[in-house]
Amino acid sequence: MKQQEKIIEMFNAIAPTYDKANRFMSFGIDISWRKEACSNILGKFINKDMKIADVACGTGDMMGLWDNMSKGYNTNISKLVGVDPSSGMLEVAMHKFPNFEFIQASATHTTLKDREFDALSITFGIRNIIERLEALKEFNRVLKNGGYFVALEFTKPKECGIAGKCRDFYIKKILPKIGGYISKNKEAYEYLPQSIDNFLDVKEFENELLECGFRIELTKGFNFDVTTLFIAKKIRDI
Ligand SMILES: C[S@@+](CC[C@H](N)C(=O)[O-])C[C@H]1O[C@@H](n2cnc3c(N)ncnc32)[C@H](O)[C@@H]1O
């Protein structure tokens, strides 16, 4: 089985316990990171219509937040679609959000229309995509000119004293144990620190976005840079 297929199989296996493990592992702090990502974009669409795609949507939490928070900004989301290749994750998402639209597809071939979306979010997903550059090109294709790419991702830890060491210890030693215990799938949660190590650092990811037709609007690290929020604007077709 190819690496990408193995990753998707792994998400199928942990889908039923994914939300519980997530909340435990982040102490619920991920919700504040997600909210900041949404509010940053919704603040640009006050009293306007917008279309949003959430790629690697998993169990749909980000879609729930887009939907909920848009009301506070008087933003009318005329289309909200979740894309994910994992049938297991989508099954949980559809159960939680029966009225939302979902597509089972990879980030590299979303099946979405050209230049349709005002924003495309991907939270804790980009690290799992083997053909990342192909996915970024696909995101460029489906976004309108001037549309926003929004990502939250665990970024490669920089060496930075005691705080950095504590963060590394938590990610490498504690997280796999909590996730493994809740999901009963140790291997899946050992993949987490490995995938963070294999992912790019902030600057490298910014460079890939520039290469794929985006201009960086914001990069912001949260909680000793465990997670980084990337917001980039599509400035040209590629
Ligand atoms: C860590 S989960 C994140 C889910 C959700 N976005 C969240 O914030 O909780 C990673 C997701 O990436 C999806 N994924 C893996 N490979 C993918 C690919 N090639 N294209 C799109 N999504 C992919 C998995 O199925 C999984 O749902």
Q: Which of 157, 144, 178, 171 is nearest to 221 (CA)?
A: 157
Answer whether 129 contacts ligand 1 (Cβ < 6 A): yes
Share of the chain above pLDDT 70, in %: 98
Using pLDDT thresholds of 50, 70 and 90, give the confidence band for residue 157: low
Distance 84 CA to ligand 1 centre (A): 6
Domain ranges of the chain: 3-156+201-234
Mean pLDDT of the chain: 93
How large is the average pLDDT for residues 126-132? 96
Measured by CA distance, the residue closest to atom 14 of ligand 1 is 56
The stretch 158-176 carries a mean pLDDT of 77
Better-scored residue on pLDDT, 38 or 191 = 38
Cβ contacts of 95 within 8 Å, gap of 6 or more:
none
**pLDDT of 44:** 97
**Ligand 1 in contact with 8 (CB < 6 A)?**
yes
Q: Which range is most confident: 93-102, 172-181, 195-204?
A: 93-102
For the cut 80, the answer to whether the pLDDT of residue 163 exceeds it is: no
Q: What is the pLDDT of residues 17-38, one digit of tens each?
A: 999 888 888 788 889 999 999 9
Task: Point out which residues pair with 117 in neighbouring strands.
Answer: 143
User: What pLDDT was estimated at residue 13?
Assistant: 94
CA of 101 to the centre of ligand 1 (A): 16
Per-residue confidence (pLDDT) for residue 158, from 0 to 100: 65
- pLDDT band for 159, please (50, 70, 90 cuts): low
Residue 72 confidence (pLDDT): 96
Measured from the CB, is residue 38 less than 6 Å from ligand 1? no
128 lines ligand 1 (CB under 6 A): yes
CATH architecture group of domain 3-156+201-234: 3-Layer(aba) Sandwich (3.40)
- The pLDDT tens digits of the residues spanning 28-81 come to 888 999 999 999 999 999 999 999 999 999 999 999 999 999 999 999 999 999
Report CA(146)–ligand 1 centroid distance (Å).
25
Q: How far is the CA of 234 from the centre of ligand 1 (A)?
A: 22
Torsional sign, CA 30, 94, 83, 125: positive
Rounded CA-CA distance 178/79 in Å is 36
Distance 58 CA to ligand 1 centre (A): 5
Q: Which of 79, 102, 100, 80 is nearest to 89 (CA)?
A: 102
pLDDT of residue 160: 64
Radius of gyration of the chain (CA): 17
106 within ligand 1 shell (Cβ under 6 A): yes
Does ligand 1 come within 6 angstroms of the Cβ of 86?
yes
* pLDDT, tens digit (0-9, with 9 covering 90-100), for 88-121: 999 999 999 999 999 999 999 999 999 999 999 9
* Lowest model confidence (mean pLDDT) among 88-97, 156-165, 173-182: 156-165
